[in-house]
Amino acid sequence: MNTTIQEIDGNMVAKLEGRLDTNVAADTEKALQPLYECENQDIIIDCTKLEYISSSGLRILLALLKSSKPKGCHVYISGLNDDLRQIFAMTGFTNLFEFK
């Protein structure tokens, strides 16, 4: 699992690559920590190269969403493949997040 964060056009963009499962969840959560400090910025989670997400990975995204909203941030998910989109739909996450 590889996680990179960049500021692009005033947005914070986190690119997730590989499999976000229980084995890498703690490291991924640490890597995303700078996003918790954002204020009044859009946060984009780029899943173009994400192959799989477990419940641990979904929990990380939900925690980020909950901490970001009070700070005036919007969290967007982009680049979901069909399998990931199905996971988001089955868990109800399509009702929680905004998609690009």
In order of their start, the domains of the chain are 2-99 (3.30.750.24)
Say what the alpha-carbon torsion angle 25, 50, 96, 22 is, to the nearest 10 degrees. Answer: -20
Cβ within 8 Å of residue 33, ≥6 positions away: none
Q: Per-residue confidence of the chain (100 residues) as pLDDT tens digits?
A: 999 999 999 999 999 999 999 999 999 999 999 999 999 999 999 999 999 999 999 999 999 999 999 999 999 999 999 999 999 999 999 999 999 8
What's the sign of the alpha-carbon dihedral 38, 40, 41, 45? positive
Q: pTM of this prediction?
A: 0.95
